[in-house]
Chain A
Amino acid sequence: MSDGTTDTNRSGGLGFAVVGAILLVVMPLLNLLPPEDSWFHLSDFSLNRFGKFLAFAILALGLDLIWGYTGILSLGQGVFFGLGAYCMGMHMMLTIGKESVYGSDMPDFMVWNQVKELPFFWKPFYSFPAAVIGALLVPMAFALVFGFFAFRSRIKGVYFAIITQALALAAWLVFNRNDTNLGGTNGLTDFKQVLGYRLSEPGTQRALYVITVLCLGASYLLCQWIIRSRAGRVLVAVRDSEKRVVFSGYTPANYKLFVFVVSAGLAGLAGLLYAPQVGIITPAQIGVLPSLEMVIWVAVGGRGSLAGAVIGAVSVNYGRSVLTNYFPELWPFMLGGLFVLVVLLFPDGMVGMIRKGKDLLTRRKAGEEKPIVPNQKVVVPEGKR
Chain B
Amino acid sequence: MVISLGRTLVALGIVGLLLLFEPSRAIAADGPVSAPPTASVEQALTQVASEDESIRQAAIRLLIEQGDAGLLPRLEAIRANASRSIRQAIKPLMDLLKNRAKLASPDSDVRRSAATDLGSSGNPSAIAWLDAAKVNESNKWVRYTIEESAALLRLASGDPSLKVAAAEKLGELRSGNAVPALKALVEAGAVAEATEQQKVLAKTADAAIDRIETWGDWANAIETIFRGISLSSILLIMSLGLAIVFGLMGVINMAHGELMMVGAYATFVTQQCFTAWFPPDVFDWYFPVALPVAFLAAAGSGFLLETTVIRFLYGRPLETMLATWGVSLVLMQAARVYFGDLTAVVAPGPLRGGAQVLVGVYLPYNRIFIIALSIVCVLGIYFALFKSNLGLRVRAVTQNRNMSACLGIPTRKVDSYTFAFGSGLAGIAGWALTMVGNVDPGLGQNYIVDAFMVVVTGGVGKLAGTIVASLGIGGLNKLIEPGLGAVYGKVLILVMVILFLQWRPSGLFAMKGRDAD
| Contacts from A to B (Cβ < 8 Å) | 71, 73, 146, 149-150, 152-155, 157-159, 161-163, 165-167, 169-170, 173-174, 176-177, 243, 288, 292, 295-296, 299, 329, 332-333, 335-340, 343-344, 347, 377-385
User: Measured between C-beta atoms, what is the minimum distance from B30 to chain A in Å?
Assistant: 58
Measured in the bound complex, the distance between the Cα atoms of B441 and A329 in whole Å is 14
A167 touches B494 (CB 8 A): yes
Cβ contact of A383, chosen from B246, B322, B333, B502, cutoff 8 A: B246
Binds A, one of B184-192, B383-391, B448-456: B448-456
Q: Which 9 A-B pairs have the closest CB atoms?
A: A339-B326, A382-B250, A336-B329, A381-B250, A332-B333, A379-B315, A336-B330, A336-B326, A343-B323
Cβ contact of A385, chosen from B334, B337, B515, cutoff 8 A: B515
Measured in the bound complex, the distance between the Cα atoms of B315 and A385 in whole Å is 11
In the complex, chain B residues whose CB is within 8 Å of the CB of A382: 246, 250-251, 315, 317, 460
Contact A159 B501, CB 8 Å, known A174-B491, A344-B323: yes
CB of B300 within 8 A of chain A? Answer: no
User: Measured between C-beta atoms, what is the minimum distance from B492 to chain A in Å?
Assistant: 9
A343 touches B313 (CB 8 A): yes
In the complex, chain A residues whose CB is within 8 Å of the CB of B330: 332-333, 336-337, 340
A165 touches B315 (CB 8 A): no
In the complex, chain B residues whose CB is within 8 Å of the CB of A340: 309, 323, 326-327, 330
In the complex, chain A residues whose CB is within 8 Å of the CB of B499: 149
A173 touches B487 (CB 8 A): yes
Contact A339 B323, CB 8 Å, known A155-B501, A384-B250: yes
Report 17 cross-chain contacts, Cβ distance below 8 Å, ordered by A residue: A73-B322, A146-B498, A149-B498, A153-B501, A154-B505, A158-B318, A159-B506, A162-B455, A165-B452, A166-B497, A167-B494, A170-B491, A174-B487, A299-B322, A336-B326, A339-B326, A343-B322
In the complex, chain A residues whose CB is within 8 Å of the CB of B323: 339-340, 343-344
Measured in the bound complex, the distance between the Cα atoms of B287 and A85 in whole Å is 48
Measured in the bound complex, the distance between the Cα atoms of B325 and A161 in whole Å is 13
CB of B328 within 8 A of chain A? Answer: yes
- A154 to chain B: closest residue by CB: B505
A332 touches B250 (CB 8 A): no
In the complex, chain B residues whose CB is within 8 Å of the CB of A149: 498-499, 502
B321 touches A173 (CB 8 A): no
- A332 to chain B: closest residue by CB: B333
In the complex, chain B residues whose CB is within 8 Å of the CB of A71: 318
Measured in the bound complex, the distance between the Cα atoms of B398 and A165 in whole Å is 27
In the complex, chain A residues whose CB is within 8 Å of the CB of B333: 329, 332-333, 336
Contact A170 B314, CB 8 Å, known A162-B456, A336-B330, A338-B326: no
Measured in the bound complex, the distance between the Cα atoms of B329 and A338 in whole Å is 11
User: Measured between C-beta atoms, what is the minimum distance from B313 to chain A in Å?
Assistant: 7
- The CB with the most chain B CB atoms within 10 A, among A149, A177, A344, is that of A344
User: Measured between C-beta atoms, what is the minimum distance from B193 to chain A in Å?
Assistant: 44
Measured in the bound complex, the distance between the Cα atoms of B443 and A271 in whole Å is 30
Measured in the bound complex, the distance between the Cα atoms of B503 and A6 in whole Å is 42
In the complex, chain B residues whose CB is within 8 Å of the CB of A338: 326
User: Measured between C-beta atoms, what is the minimum distance from B450 to chain A in Å?
Assistant: 8
A381 touches B498 (CB 8 A): no
In the complex, chain B residues whose CB is within 8 Å of the CB of A377: 315-316
In the complex, chain A residues whose CB is within 8 Å of the CB of B449: 162, 165-166, 169, 288
Measured in the bound complex, the distance between the Cα atoms of B506 and A163 in whole Å is 13
In the complex, chain A residues whose CB is within 8 Å of the CB of B515: 384-385
User: Measured between C-beta atoms, what is the minimum distance from B60 to chain A in Å?
Assistant: 53
Measured in the bound complex, the distance between the Cα atoms of B506 and A384 in whole Å is 13
- B328 to chain A: closest residue by CB: A336
In the complex, chain B residues whose CB is within 8 Å of the CB of A243: 517
Contact A170 B318, CB 8 Å, known A343-B313, A382-B250: no
In the complex, chain A residues whose CB is within 8 Å of the CB of B334: 333
A152 touches B502 (CB 8 A): yes
Cβ contact of B325, chosen from A159, A176, A292, cutoff 8 A: A292
A379 touches B314 (CB 8 A): yes
Measured in the bound complex, the distance between the Cα atoms of B321 and A295 in whole Å is 11
Measured in the bound complex, the distance between the Cα atoms of B461 and A336 in whole Å is 29
A381 touches B490 (CB 8 A): no
Contact A158 B252, CB 8 Å, known A169-B490, A332-B330, A339-B326: yes
B249 touches A381 (CB 8 A): yes
Measured in the bound complex, the distance between the Cα atoms of B236 and A76 in whole Å is 25
In the complex, chain B residues whose CB is within 8 Å of the CB of A347: 319
- A381 to chain B: closest residue by CB: B250
Cβ contact of B329, chosen from A339, A344, A379, cutoff 8 A: A339
In the complex, chain A residues whose CB is within 8 Å of the CB of B490: 169-170, 173
